[in-house]
Structure 1
C-alpha cells in the first residue's frame, strides 16, 4: 500500500513538472520576439529592421519588437545575441560589418560568427557610397579629384565612416594607398551621424548607406562620387564603383541578414526563414526599401552562411593589403 502511494506521488510530481515545463514553454512562445539591431534608431539598418519586424509580426501572428543596442560597430548587439538562450525569442538583424569584418579587426570581439550564431536568412544587399560636400570640396566629382583636393588641404583630409575598423574605413585606406595621399578615416556610431556632420561641413567626405546619403544628394547638399560593390547600381547609374576608378580590392557589396543564437531548433529557424522570405519578396517591402535604394534579397540559411564566409574572405584580403595590425 505504501509502495503504491509512493508511485502515485511520483507520477503526480512528474505530471506536475511536465505541465509546468509545457506552460513555461508556451509562455515563452507568447513573449514578443526581440530583433536586436546594433545601430541607433533612424539609420538605414534600423529602418530595414522595423519594416521587417512589421511584416514578420503579421505573418507569425506574434509581436516582433526592434531593440536598438548601438555601439562598437554592432558588437554590443552581437554579444547580447550570443548570451541569449536559443529559444526563438531573440534574433539579430546585422550588416556584414559586424558579421564578417569585426572578427578580423578586433582582438577579442566576444563572438565568432559561424560558431556562435545560426544563419536565418538574408534580407537585403546594401552597397555603401562615398559622398562629398560640394560647399567644402567644390567641383570634385570622382575619387581622383577627392585625392587631389585632400593633397591640397591636408589639414582637412578626413573621411567619416560608420564604425571603427569597418569595411568603409578600409575603403578609405585603399583609396589613400591607390592615390598616394594622406586620408584620415574618422569613425562614427552609424551612417546617420556621418551624414549630419558631412552636411554641416565638419568633414569634406563620408561613407554610408545609399539611404543615408541619397536624399541629401538629391537636394544638392551632397554629391555621391563612388559606390562599393562589383557593379554600378540601378538607382545611381552614373556613379562609378571604386574598382572602376582604380581602387582595386574594394568590390564587395554589404548585406543585411538575420541570425539567431546557435542551438536554436532547426524548425524554428525555418519558420523564421519562411516568414522573412515572404516579407522580403513582398511589394510593400520593396517599396519601403526603394526609398533607401537598398535591394531586397532573400536566401536559405545555408546560402547566408556561404555569403558570410565569402565576405569574410574578401575582407581578409583587404585587411592584409592595407597592412592593418589588430591593436
Structure 2
C-alpha cells in the first residue's frame, strides 16, 4: 500500500511538472520563504528546515528556501502573515493541522478562514503526541494511570504544559483529565521547548507535546514518556505503550504538518511546490533527520491534504465542545 501511494504521488508530481510552462520548469523562483509559527528547535521548525534545505534546484525554486519563525498566538501569527502575503507562490506556511482544523472551533473571531484564505500544497510529516513527566513526579510513576493517581493525590501539583492553547496536545491532556475525572491544570506555552524546559527544571509536572519534542530528553533520562497517541507504538519509543494500550483508546490520534500557500496562488505554481516538497521528502537525509525528531516523512497531493483537513475539522468539533474550551474561556 505504501509503495503504491508513493508511486501515485510520484506520478502526480511528474504530471504536474510537465504541465508547467517551459520557462517556469527551467528556472523556478529565485527565492521562496517558509513561514513557521513556532520557535526554533521544535518539530515544526525541524520539518520546515529539513524540507527547505532540499528544495533548491527544482522547477519551483532555484535556491534552498529560507525559513522564518513567527512564533506567537499559538501559531496564528504565522497564518496571518501568509494570508496577507502576495499569492504568487514565493511564500508558504508550514503548520500543524491544529491551526486549520481545530482553531475554527475555539475562536469565534478567528483572523483567517482556513478553507478560504489558504490553498493546501502538501502534507510533510506525521507525528504522534506524548504525555511525559519530569522530576516533580516520582520515578515510581511509569504509566498514564499511575500519573493520574499521583495527580489526584497531589492536586496542587497536577499540571501539564502544551505548545499552545487550543493545540492538539492541549486537547489530549484536557480529554485525559475530563474522561478520568482528574483535575489537570493546563499551562500553555509558546512552543514545546519552553514547556519541556520548565518540566525538566521541576517547575511543571508533565507535558503533552509532539512525541519528537520530548524524545531527546526521554532518551537522556531527564524526563519519562508515559504514553503516546498513535494507533500503534511509535518506532521512536517502542518501549512506551500507547494511550489505547493503557485503556484510553479515545485519545488515539496522529497529526500532520502541512504546507499551505495563500489563496489565489496559481494552480501551476502550487503543483511545482508540491512536486518540490514531495521530492524533498524522498531524500534519505530528510527522512532520517525527521526521524530524529519523532516524525515520519509523508507527502501527499493537494487534494489529499484538503480532504484530510476537512475530515479532522469534522472530527474535532464535538471533542472541542466536550472539553468546553474557547478562546474566551
TM-score by length of 1: 0.87
Instruction: Note if contact 1:252-1:311 (Cα within 8 Å) is conserved in structure 2.
Output: no
Matches within 5 A, 1:257-296: 257-296=258-297
**Matched ranges for 1:126-137 at <5 A:** 126-134=127-135, 136-137=137-138
Within a 5 Å distance, the mapping from 1:1-327 to structure 2 comes to 30=29, 32-59=31-58, 60-134=61-135, 136-327=137-328
Q: Using a 3 Å threshold, how does the CA distance of structure 1 residues 244 and 265 change in structure 2: closer, same or farther?
A: same
Do the aligned partners of 1:82 and 1:111 also contact (CA within 8 Å) in 2? yes
- Deviations along 1:243-280, one digit per CA (max 9) or x if unpaired, are 33333432221110100011111100000100100101
Deviates more, 1:175-184 or 1:153-162: 175-184
Matched residue, 2:13: none
Contact 1:229–1:254, Cα closer than 8 Å, also in 2:
no
Gaps of at least 5 residues in structure 2 are 1-23
Q: In the TM superposition, what is the alpha-carbon distance from 1:297 to its structure 2 partner?
A: 0.3
1:264 aligned counterpart, secondary structure: coil
RMSD: 1.7
Q: Quick one: distance in 1 between partners of 2:73 and 2:327?
A: 15
Measure the CA separation in 2 of the matches of 1:115 and 1:137.
48
Name the SS of the counterpart of 2:140 in structure 1: coil
Counterpart of 1:229 in 2: which secondary structure? coil
The runs of 5 or more residues in structure 1 that have no matched partner are 1-24
SS at match of 2:315: helix
For 2:233 and 2:271, the matched residues in 1 are separated by 33
Shift of 1:139: 1.3
- The structure number with the bigger radius of gyration is 1
Flag the structure with higher helix content. 1
Separation in 1, partners of 2:248, 2:318 = 14
Aligned residue for 2:108, secondary structure, equals coil
Does 177-186 or 254-263 show the bigger shift? 177-186
Q: Which runs of 4+ in 1 moved over 6 A?
A: none
Name the CA shift for 1:35/1:137 in 2 (closer, same or farther; >3 Å). same
